[in-house]
Amino acid sequence: MNVTVVGLGKIGLPLAVQFARSGCKVRGADVNPETVSQVNSGVEPFPGESHLGEYLGEVVADGRLEATTDTASAVAESDYVVVVVPLFVDDEARPDFGWMDSATDDIARGLRTARGTTVIYETTLPVGTTRTRWAPRLEAGSGLTEGKDFHLVFSPERVLTGRVFADLRKYPKLVGGLSQEGARRATAFYEEALQFDARPDLQRPNGVWDLGSAEAAEMAKLAETTYRDVNIGLANQFGRFAASHGVDVFQVIEACNSQPYSHIHRPGIAVGGHCIPVYPRLYLWNDPDATVVRAAREANKAMPAYTVGLAVGAMGGSLADARVAVLGASYRGGVKETAFSGVFDTVAALRDAGAEVVVHDPMYSAEEIRGFGWEPYELGREIDVAVLQADHAEYRDLESADLPGVQVVVDGRDILDRTRFDGVRVISVGRPEPEVAR
């Protein structure tokens, strides 16, 4: 099969490599000439994706994958087109389709000379976008008819950066076509291009699951990520209540989850990343009356300020002139990415409280930290307060000697060992009022 993957980012490039490793002839299309050059040289454009460098070198060397900036030409020679172009959102997660519109227009030009092609969008979308936006745009730009001259399908990506190849094997591939024939073709493609691990926990075999419509597949992605945001919002409200009543919420959650119908997540300082803070907003764009979703999003958005409030209280009601280190710029541990990271609201809340703020992250250089407008912090320098924002593995063994002079540590991810901070007040979000570790 000839396949074009449009968008060679942190999801698109691993997908292109996966398809090539499964025997497809793959063209990767991207608007960035530097990315295209790196891919054609067998060099991964971004670090941190497990096995990507190794696999990329293999499929480029044997001619199974090549990259280009000419999307239309690549599409014209393809049986399948997989679209993984970013959907940008503003601070309220309102969608900006600009890049996707441009890519769709390029795809449409390629379709003019390529009848029978199946186009599959994997970028997470508001429900109805595939049918009401992409189908008319592709038809207008190509002069062809969907369902007759080409087929259009939605199949959401369900992977996390850093472990894409493992996740592709682990989770069912959901598809939803605008026609039965489109869904059949997409199913046949993914069954050829992906391999699946056995999942005895599922009610039906792991593999490609046809959900019957593009709208169902679009909603499935929004629903699974919105569920996580709502669950975390509930956990955060439990955590705030429990801590104010001297109850350890983590012990409560462990007890609750011993019963098979309870799956409470963990509270924490922030919910970040491209997915969980964003997709509930896309759902609300479709369903503005979803009060549960809106309340959970607001609860999670308030957590950085609440966490800073714990530090303010522990320091006697003021952080004026205190030197406070925020540990972790990334939105989650082990990932060099700040998309919707809690670091931004945490720094803002600390500055509003009068603190002198410095930021540390083992994945970012001092120059990169300055690029965000923050003063970089090095472990071993004097500080008054530390707020742990990202659960990097490097932070798990921190002790008071790493933070000389520290009086209060607020552990926003509950990963620190309090016994390593003798004489320091250590507060974990969701635990009872702090105790001085002995």
User: Terminus-to-terminus CA distance in the chain, angstroms?
Assistant: 65
- On whether the CB atoms of residues 330 and 363 are closer than 8 A, the answer is yes
- On whether the CB atoms of residues 220 and 174 are closer than 8 A, the answer is yes
Q: Which residue has the tokens 């759902």?
A: 283
Rounded to whole angstroms, how far apart are CA atoms 436 and 438? 6
- On whether the CB atoms of residues 78 and 2 are closer than 8 A, the answer is yes
In DSSP terms, 401 is beta-bridged to none
Rounded to whole angstroms, how far apart are CA atoms 215 and 417? 46
Burial of 410 from C-beta contacts in 10 A (0-12 / 13-18 / 19+): buried
Determine phi and psi for 303, rounding to 5 degrees: -65, -40
**Amino acid in position 274:** H
* Largest interatomic CA distance in the chain: 74
Query: Any idea what DSSP says for residue 434?
Result: P
Which of 148, 170, 221, 256 is flagged as catalytic? 221
Is 256 designated active site?
A: no
Rounded to whole angstroms, how far apart are CA atoms 222 and 227? 8
Which of 10, 275, 301, 336 is flagged as catalytic? 275
Which SS3 state, helix, strand or coil, does residue 199 take? Answer: coil
User: Active-site residue numbers?
Assistant: 221, 275
